[in-house]
Amino acid sequence: MGSSAGILGTGSELPEKVVTNADLEKLVDTSDQWITDRTGIKERRQARADQTTSELSIHAARKALDMAGITARELDLIICSTISPDMPLPSTAAFIQRGLGASACCAFDLAAACSGFLFGVTVAEQFIKNGKARYVLVIGAELLSRYIDYRDRATCVIFGDGVAAAVLGPVAEPHGILASEMHTDGQFADHLYIPAGGTTRPASCETVQGREHYIKMKGNELFKVAVRSLEEVSRRVLEQAKVCPEQLSLFIPHQANQRITDAVRQRLGVSVEKVYSNISRVGNTSSASIPICLDECIRNGQTKKGDLVLMAAFGAGVTWGGILMRY
């Protein structure tokens, strides 16, 4: 029997502070009814001002390492997917490596927004399969509240903070990653973006006054692209592995909007009890979304060894990806 790359342990960390729809009603012209009906979100988490992306990541990573039964020193690589890093330079992964005491390994950040965790797992899979690494830590970490304009009702109701990690390593077949895909289409790059703070618009009084350091989103247009891409990529990884939707034990779609999840589920023909959703209490945590779900499913026993799990993500770029694995 051969070996492939699989998930050995997971961990997640949510900030304590809960922001309810009622809290947001006090900040912008919105209502609990609108947010619930249009997104499925009831509450989301918000990090304290003194918490950082790397700090929460270190907590989540320790839980994942514990479940995997390995130490940080055994890691060969750390990949941190984030669009809300501690600072532009150096990478958040470097702070995570230092905090974990994972001195022997390489560490870098990956920027693919909400698809970043799946991109990271796919990159990790290549390193493990070709023998360049044995244990890889992949983290999806976002403190999006730092980039949210709490005057913009189109975005502040959707996004939340959260972090999750997974340790990947060799597993005996038939377990492990069975199929994976990653895609990007820069045509839609201006559908979801932060205009300033980079080389295009370096930080200035003007960019701050213009509120250009916050996330801007064309939600309506993204909705259609998201449903189409999530369906397509899900079908492709299922086909690659010759698995039909009825054989799935669990489908974890990126938690962008409950209506997107429902539409994709219906198009794929996956039964409702096989689709995991935590958007009502976590919101959209970008690259942390899928690993938080996965960690919850593993810890609450909803995912057991041998289960076929499909994960599909969509995000800014636009990027999208899918992974089918046997846990």
Ligand X SMILES: CC(C)(COP(=O)(O)OP(=O)(O)OC[C@H]1O[C@@H](n2cnc3c(N)ncnc32)[C@H](O)[C@@H]1OP(=O)(O)O)[C@@H](O)C(=O)NCCC(=O)NCCS
List of residues contacting ligand X (CB under 6 A)? 30, 34-35, 38-39, 114, 153-154, 157, 192, 217, 219-220, 222-223, 226, 256-257, 284, 314-315
Task: Count CB atoms within 10 A of the CB of residue 268.
Answer: 19
Given the residues 254, 257, 293, 297, select the one marked as catalytic: 254
Nearer to ligand X, 38 or 236 (CB): 38
C-alpha span between 57 and 59 (Å, rounded): 5
Active site residue 254: yes
Identity of the residue, 8 or 192, whose beta carbon is nearer to ligand X in the bound complex: 192
Q: How far is the CB of 293 from ligand X (least distance, A)?
A: 14
Shortest CB 322 distance to ligand X, Å: 15
Of 80, 114, 156, 293, the active-site residue reads 114
For ligand X, give the closer residue by CB, 85 or 170. 85
158 exposed, middle or buried (CB, 10 Å; 0-12, 13-18, 19+)? buried
Strands (E) in the chain, as ranges, are 3-13, 17-20, 43-46, 77-81, 106-110, 136-143, 161-172, 176-184, 192-193, 216-217, 250-253, 308-315, 319-326
**Cα dist from 62 to 12, 13, 45, 101, whole Å:** 9, 10, 21, 11
Whose Cβ is closer to ligand X: residue 68's or residue 114's? Answer: 114
Beta carbon of residue 324, minimum distance to ligand X (angstroms, whole number): 21
Catalytic status, residue 205: no
Instruction: Give CA–CA dist 107/311, Å, rounded.
Output: 24
Smallest gap from residue 69 Cβ to ligand X (A): 33
114 is catalytic: yes
Active-site positions read 114, 254, 284
